[in-house]
Amino acid sequence: MKLKENGHVVDFLEHFKRKLDCRINCLKVERCFRESFTGLVLGGEDGLVRVYDMTQLTQGNQPVNVLLETKGGPIQALAIHDITHFYKEDIITGDSVGMVTIFCNEQILSRHSLSKSTIKCLQIYTDALGNCYIVVADDAGYIYAIQPSKQLWRININNVHTSRGPLERASVTCMLCVPLPNGTGQLCSYILAADDKRRLHVISQGDIVMTIHTPDTVTAMCCGLFIAEEKLEAGPDTFSHQHPVQVALGCTSGALYILQNFTISEEEFGNAGCHISQMLSHPAVNGKIDYLLCAGHFSALQVFLEGKQIGSYETPNWVNCMDILCPGKDQRPQIVFACLDNSVHGVSLAEG
């Protein structure tokens, strides 16, 4: 894969910066429950969920509008989705004692003790019929699918046959639910789960249908359109004209790769220089190609366009979680991230 040079440069517009008194492990920016405001939802080391009004936070105030107790361990994963169809968006958390907690209308609706290991990843899966359920992965290599009232299935990635020597215990490093084109070109919902043995498992309807060996250990994933067809030196069968869905893979070495039609690029798409732990797709500003946001074991938020780093925002510490708010066509998407020093920041991109 070779890329032409591009002359894009982005600047960063700062919206807010706040230091909080709690250890933040994960965050989402979205409306939840019946609240009329867009909330900054934080999952804390103390097992509490805090919801802040984004408008108040931007104006310099930071009262906690909603405070929820999971009655479990430190929260490690967080999702917001209308999983119950009762009261708008629900909050779902996964913690370090293997517990998944579902909040509906600011109350605990159900709790699922799935594992004795830490819940590392939590995603919402939606099938072709519009049915959705919660998919979580723990530190021991198990992947679970649940609904508020029951467990649907469980997979152990350590049962996957490998020809690479003696069996070693694997742990899921990151997970992504994404629609990808199948062999006939139709979009189907898949779960992608990467592990620390350089494998990427493709899961459909509770079964591992494919295992792809990766060039490095994948630690972060996101989907979008990150490279134009004319800039990809590949055969005609590797690019789907009807559904150009691409998945960016961030690795422990800092390398970036692109997964497209279940094939990983042979060459690096880009390189962040250090371990990547967080990635987001940022909608294109003045073009069709999305920006790729990367953070990890470095004190910066990096922006890539078609494999080239076009911007870097210095942060006070490593970024350990981030989300993006896309308010509308006339407003810039806002990137909200938290650092290991318990600071929360809001920035947006502007082409220089």
- Supply angle C-alpha 224, 177, 278, rounded to 5: 65
d(CA 210, CA 203): 7
CA distances from 328 to 88, 260, 292 (A): 20, 28, 19
Which one has a higher pLDDT value, 208 or 4?
208
> pLDDT tens for residues 14-60?
999 999 989 999 999 988 887 777 889 999 999 999 999 888 877 77
Cα 325 off chain centre by: 14
Asked whether residue 104 carries a pLDDT value surpassing 60, the answer given is yes
Q: pTM (2 decimals)?
A: 0.91
CATH of domain 10-351: 2.130.10.10
d(CA 311, CA 300): 10
> pLDDT tens for residues 56-95?
877 776 677 889 999 999 999 999 999 988 778 899 999 9
> pLDDT tens for residues 149-196?
999 999 999 988 655 555 678 999 999 999 988 777 788 899 999 999
Q: Encoding tokens for residue 265?
A: 């690029």
pLDDT at position 167, please? 63
pLDDT at position 232, please? 59
Q: What is the mean pLDDT of residues 237-263?
A: 82
Domains of the chain, residue spans: 10-351
Asked whether residue 243 carries a pLDDT value surpassing 60, the answer given is no
What is the identity of the amino acid at 17? K
